[in-house]
Amino acid sequence: MKRIFAIALAMITMTACTNRTNPFLTEWDTPFGIPPFEQIREADFIPALQAGIEQHNAEIQAIIDNPETPDFDNVIAAYDLSGELLSNVAGVLFNMAETDNTPTLEKVVEEATALVSQHSNDLTFNKELFAKVEAVQAKKDELGLTREQEMVLDKIYRSFAEGGIALDEAGQARMKEINTELSVLSNRFGNYLLKENNAFKAEFGVAISEYPDAMAVEEDRARREAMFRAYSNRGNNGNENDTKDIIFNILKLKEEKAQLLGYPTPAAHILSNKMAKTPEAVDAFLANIFKYAVARAKEEVKDMQQVMDADIQAGKVEKGATIQPWDWFYYAEKVRKAKYALDEELTKPYFKMENVREGVFNTASKLYGLTFEKIENAPKYHPDVEAFKVTDADGSLIGVLTTDYFPRESKRGGAWMNNIRDEYVTADGQMVRPIIVNVGNFNKPTADTPSLLSLDNVETMFHEFGHALHGLLTQCHYRTVSGTSVARDFVELPSQINENWAFQKEVLAGYAKHYETGEVIPDELVEKIIAAGNFNQGFMTTELCAASILDMKWHELPSVEGVDIAAFEKKVCQEMGLIDEIIPRYRTTYFNHIFNSGYSAGYYSYLWAEVLDKDAFELFMQKGIFDPATATSFRKNILEKGGSEEPMTLYKNFRGAEPDPDALLRARGLK
């Protein structure tokens, strides 16, 4: 009690000294507890983080000092509920770092990353706290726990065991250093890549997210080559944003960490608690898919070469030219137009961003009974952001969804979902509903034209909203297993299955309307979209599979000492059988997923989860894409459960059997 009083006094003093209340240290009088973004200043973050850490330390000490016999409630549940202030501050800070970064905020994040990492280390190696956890773990079979409580206990216990609590004093000290250094380096990698992406846009006038579309229509072959080389060499230019040294240091630290914990490689360490379990299982999985994908890609090259040959005959391309990586998007689009008479410039007017988002919402309404209501005057961290109240069929609050869909120099490339606030149940039984962010980098509206999405953009919006549904619909008691807190190779199931509704005829009829005339997309155009659904899948699957293999090979190395990045990458591509016309979706020096976004030895997860999602959607196709019983089962067994049960158990509870491994190949038209 004295410690908590001291913290409160420190907070008051902080307020008095600055003559202003730090927004993080007050109750938020905002709709549904949305952070008061407009009131938050960059200078607020570090003091608030420090206060959050102090508060969390006091809560942990209270668990340790509790004289009662350790049990689930006074140790595990108390630990799960601790750190609310710290979580609130970190949730806002790291979301803004990805979506609205500034040079000064970048420095704040670097300092914050070190603070949070040090605090995490202090928890991980707190022997008194672990003794309490271990005492509960030792008698878990006697406690009458629910299955969710068992999963929470096991996850928390493993976090200590896998964190290195059993190491000697020197080992623990080194592990703390490694964890802090990894946090700082990963953040720095993201910052360097953001600068490289902005430099690319400055040179070519094309945002990274717009690169495939721009390459598909760029007729100047020399310009295409220049764009390709700049795009594929990001982080590898020998300038101040070169990422190679960061990558080496990250990999060395991961190798040392794995070996300290008794694993031969980072991949073996990372996969030990995933569905796949071992690097060998992932390697075999990827090799099988790659075999079919590259065979199809070779056929696609032949189709494109025929079109290029016609251009050579017409004098548009130099004699003897063959398809190169910078030609793929351009000639693939020509082949698509020839084979399916499908021109994306004709489809885009039917995919106005707001209409697509309405289609996403309506699909969720039909499947799960959800309602979406815009929150007027909601606090926002950027003018592009919009917020929506999400309610269930009975009118109860599901949560808050905010969307942030347009590119800017302060936002990193790509698309993702963030949790600003998790769902959980408080100690007095009150359910806290989540606040979720969906982020994209779609074409920004102009003075004359609204944001019009490509077919790939449409699929991306449905994908990220699938993650949002996972975070919104969760009905767990504990933050440790709430929402997307699941195994990495399971987390993409809700997102990827949601893509399947995007281009269903029934769904398109409800949202695909011409932005000028309001005309519903014609049946003829819908048929072309559906017919072309598996077009270019050789390329798409090959580049994705190649990146997954590259990720695994880096993390299967016991040591990167003396390894040349370019030479190693080339060797891996040759050994997997990657054709010269394709490069991995992400090359090493700009592979943000594995060096800054938690997908180390885990990029395969997209393909792994696609086996689940395609197998699951086959049931929807059999029963009806809006069949109430199937949708309810998916919601109850997958979306609401978070990590409260083993992933395969959850899947079998929904599907009635393990997934058919060929479901992915069938869906992509590869087998």
**Which residues are marked as active site?**
464
Q: Which two tokens stand for residue 270?
A: 């990372």
Write the DSSP string, 400-427: EEEEE----TTS-SS-EEEEEE--EE-T
Question: Are 55 and 132 in contact, with CB atoms under 8 Å apart?
Answer: no
Write the DSSP string, 279-327: HHHHHHHHHHHHHHHHHHHHHHHHHHHHHHHHHHHTTSS-TT----GGG
Locus of tokens 């021109």:
343
Each residue of 431-468: b (16+ CB within 10 Å) or e? Answer: ebbbbbbbbbbbbbeeeeebbbbbbebbbbbbbbbbbb
Say how many residues make up the chain.
671
Neighbouring C-beta atoms of residue 385, cutoff 10 Å: 19
CA torsion 592-597-602-605 (nearest 10°) is -100
Write the DSSP string, 537-571: HHHHHHHHHHHHHHHHHHHT-S--TT--HHHHHHH
Q: What are phi and psi of 437, to 5 degrees?
A: -115, 130
Locus of tokens 């495939």:
212
| Separation CA 229–CA 243 (nearest Å) | 16
CA torsion 556-558-559-560 (nearest 10°) is -10
Q: Which two tokens stand for residue 567?
A: 């030479």
Question: Are 73 and 66 in contact, with CB atoms under 8 Å apart?
Answer: no
Question: Are 56 and 93 in contact, with CB atoms under 8 Å apart?
Answer: no
| Separation CA 34–CA 536 (nearest Å) | 42
Each residue of 165-179: b (16+ CB within 10 Å) or e? Answer: bebeeeebebbbebb
Q: How far is CA 643 from CA 150, 181, 400, 467, 498, in A?
A: 11, 29, 21, 14, 19
Q: Which residues contact residue 93 at a Cβ distance below 8 angstroms, ignoring those fewer than 6 apart? A: 45, 49, 108, 109, 112
Q: Which two tokens stand for residue 187?
A: 């953040």
Q: What are phi and psi of 553, to 5 degrees?
A: -65, -35
DSSP label at residue 115 = H
| Separation CA 123–CA 196 (nearest Å) | 36
Question: Are 32 and 400 in contact, with CB atoms under 8 Å apart?
Answer: yes
| Separation CA 558–CA 73 (nearest Å) | 41
